[in-house]
Amino acid sequence: MTIAVSDLLSIELMRKHLRVDFEDEDDLITLYAESALAWALWYCDNDKLVEVGDFPASFKSALLLLLGHSFANREAVEIGAKGEKLPLGVESLLWSSRNFSGPEPVETTP
Average pLDDT, the chain: 87
Q: State how many domains the chain has.
A: 1
Confidence of residue 85 (pLDDT cuts 50, 70, 90): low
Q: What is the CATH number of the domain that holds 64?
A: 1.10.3230.30
* Least confident range of 17-21, 38-42, 89-93, 94-98: 89-93
> Residue 92: inside a domain, yes or no?
yes
Q: Which helix (H) or strand (E) holds 69?
A: helix 57-72
What's the average model confidence in pLDDT over 38-61?
94
> Residue 46: inside a domain, yes or no?
yes
What's the average model confidence in pLDDT over 53-75?
92
* Least confident range of 29-33, 73-77, 87-91: 87-91
Question: Residue 12 belongs to what domain range?
Answer: 5-74+88-97
> Residue 29: inside a domain, yes or no?
yes
The dihedrals phi and psi of 20, each to the nearest 5 degrees, come to -110, 125
pLDDT at 32 over 90: yes
Please tell me the distance from the alpha carbon of residue 41 to that of residue 73, in angstroms, as a whole number: 22
> Residue 102: inside a domain, yes or no?
no
> Residue 61: inside a domain, yes or no?
yes
- The region, left, alpha or beta by phi > 0 then psi within -120 to 50, assigned to residue 55 is beta
What's the average model confidence in pLDDT over 50-62?
95
> Residue 104: inside a domain, yes or no?
no
